[in-house]
Amino acid sequence: MKTKLVIYLFCVSFFSFSQTDHISMIDYVQVLNGNKTEALYYYQNNWEQLRKKAKKKNFIESYRLLETKPTKDMPYTFILITTFKNKKQYEFRESNFQKLIDNRSELKLMNEKTPADFRKVIYHNDAVTHWN
């Protein structure tokens, strides 16, 4: 009985903490010159729309647009997460997104400000491993 319990606990802990096939890319975005409204509009109407299409075509598993309060040590406002189901999806990310970009209309901007005027990606994590 004791041996069965040890085997059971090993299996539960192994599968609970084992690595999955999922891979994510994460961008940390700083809002420039108080242009948070422009940045949010840009991400909701461009970044997010592109990911909705990518998800529909099975190019990605999921995506998240998160907002946080920037601090002196962590001056980003938005966290953008794109998750791929497996290594194959991840490896084809550039060509798959290029297909979508080639078929889309112009960038949707709130006003005459360009993305460089209102946002800056200050940190990018590529190929983030999932453990659960």
77-127 tens-digit pLDDT = 999 999 999 999 999 999 999 999 999 889 999 999 999 999 999 999 998
In the structure, what pLDDT confidence band is assigned to residue 18 with cuts at 50, 70 and 90? low
3-state helix, strand, coil in the chain (%, to 5): 40, 25, 35
Distance CA 107, CA 38 (A): 13
> Is the CATH number 2.20.25.90 carried by domain 21-129?
no
pTM of full prediction above 0.85: no
pLDDT of 13 reads 47
Per-domain residue ranges of the chain: 21-129
